[in-house]
Amino acid sequence: MRREYRTVILGGGFAGAHVARILAEGSTAIVSPESSMLYTPLLPEVAAGAIEPRHVVVPLRMMCPEADLVVGRAVGLDEAVRTVAVESDVGPVEVGYERLVVALGSTARMLPIRGLRKHALPLKELADAIHLRNHVLRQLDLADADLDAAERHLTFVFAGAGYAGVEALAELKVLVDDAMHHYPRLAGVPQRWVLVSRGAAILQEAPERLGAYAADLLRRRGVDIRLGTSITSVTDGVVDLTDGTRLASETLVWTAGVTPNRAVAELGLPLDGRGRIIVDESLRVEGRTNVWAIGDCARVPNPATPEHPDPPTCQHALRQARAVVRSLRGGTAPYRYRSRGAGATLGRDRGIADVFGLQVRGRFAGLITRGYHLRHVPLRSRRLRILADGTLSIAFQRDIASLATIQVRRQTG
């Protein structure tokens, strides 16, 4: 089967979907294995049950009505005949293009640590967030069923103290604290929450004052923060740290960085040492006139921050998407973007926000961060659903319904 388009976008994630939405042109196709775009910044709140999973995915057919959706995986590229090879559920599809935008994103970066791949729980996709929530709630049931092993089930280890790791820990701790009201047998069992980071501080991307506030808040909530520390091995029920600590735990949440999607290496485009596609200041792939690359899978130079390329964030992916559309429309201005700040939620309505040089902490910062996300989720219907979820989760305790048994049944058949 062959299909022809003027513009083909590989990847329907944050960067790719925004290119299609802003371009809003016929003869455009998005190649993506999923039919929805995931709004990742809200994944920690999905994992913690504050937001319904369906509400953080935006159907691409609604978000980009002018674009065609080719549901499948890009597995190869023949630049000589301008064709992308796609594997779909109905067989191979050849997708012809005049202009190609590569936005294949990233996956969790797994280090060569014994047992990591097998036991660590990543938080990158919607399925990860649903699985993590079910896993954590299941630990409470297991602790309740076997009091001798309860401390192990109530020890939660998080590796990686960037925004995703810190938010996930803070939000999941709220879920567990709320759920504990329904487990009277576990009242005397100590919980242990450990945040492990190789860095010298948590939230190093945030201004120092805000990172320090977040660390202080988490410590006051009983979180054990281990800086300059990493994981040496993970086995069934034990997590070993480089400082010699052995933690009896069934839960290691891994949010220690990302690496470009493996599919990128199949395209034959120029890559840097970290596997990212090399692009110039117009976001065109090095040496190409009709191929652009953006988002987490690209090494994007930015004159506003000459000391380093763009970090893998939604806010950069969105600005890059806008710049690609300008370039597709014939614009020649180079890409340039200076971040206007960032924010994180820390559970119990608290947060930190760094906006337009203003550093805010506490409830107001939590409100700013939620407001920012609400403004940036595409489609009003989705925004309202998220607003309703967030409001209900403040009014009531977290929903502790676990769907773990459904997952187990599906796996075992």
Q: Whose Cβ is closer to ligand FAD: residue 86's or residue 150's?
A: 86
| Least spacing, CB of residue 187 vs ligand FAD, in Å | 32
Q: CA angle, corner 137, sides to 343 and 116, nearest 5? A: 70
Q: Which long-range contacts (CB under 8 A, 24 or more apart) does 367-373 make?
A: 368/343, 369/343, 369/344, 369/345, 370/345, 372/343, 373/39, 373/41, 373/42
| Least spacing, CB of residue 236 vs ligand FAD, in Å | 26
Distance, CA of 376 to CA of 384 (rounded, Å)? 12
Nearest residue to the partner ligand FAD, using Cβ: 13
Distance, CA of 179 to CA of 158 (rounded, Å)? 20
Binding site for ligand FAD (CB under 6 A): 10-16, 31-34, 40-41, 43, 73-74, 103-106, 123-124, 163-164, 261, 263, 295-297, 312-315, 317
Print the SS3 string covering 245-269: CEEECCEEEECCCEEECHHHHHHCC
Q: Whose Cβ is closer to ligand FAD: residue 56's or residue 217's?
A: 56
Q: CA angle, corner 26, sides to 23 and 31, nearest 5? A: 75
CA–chain centroid gap for 79, Å, is: 31
- The total number of residues shown for the chain amounts to 413
| Least spacing, CB of residue 105 vs ligand FAD, in Å | 3
Q: Whose Cβ is closer to ligand FAD: residue 150's or residue 167's?
A: 167
| Least spacing, CB of residue 376 vs ligand FAD, in Å | 9
Q: Whose Cβ is closer to ligand FAD: residue 126's or residue 247's?
A: 126
Q: Whose Cβ is closer to ligand FAD: residue 232's or residue 259's?
A: 259
3-state secondary structure (DSSP) of residue 101: strand
Contact present, 343 and 42 (Cβ < 8 Å):
no
Q: Whose Cβ is closer to ligand FAD: residue 106's or residue 251's?
A: 106
| Least spacing, CB of residue 208 vs ligand FAD, in Å | 19
Q: Whose Cβ is closer to ligand FAD: residue 137's or residue 297's?
A: 297
| Least spacing, CB of residue 254 vs ligand FAD, in Å | 11
Contact present, 37 and 103 (Cβ < 8 Å):
no
Distance, CA of 303 to CA of 238 (rounded, Å)? 46
| Least spacing, CB of residue 137 vs ligand FAD, in Å | 19
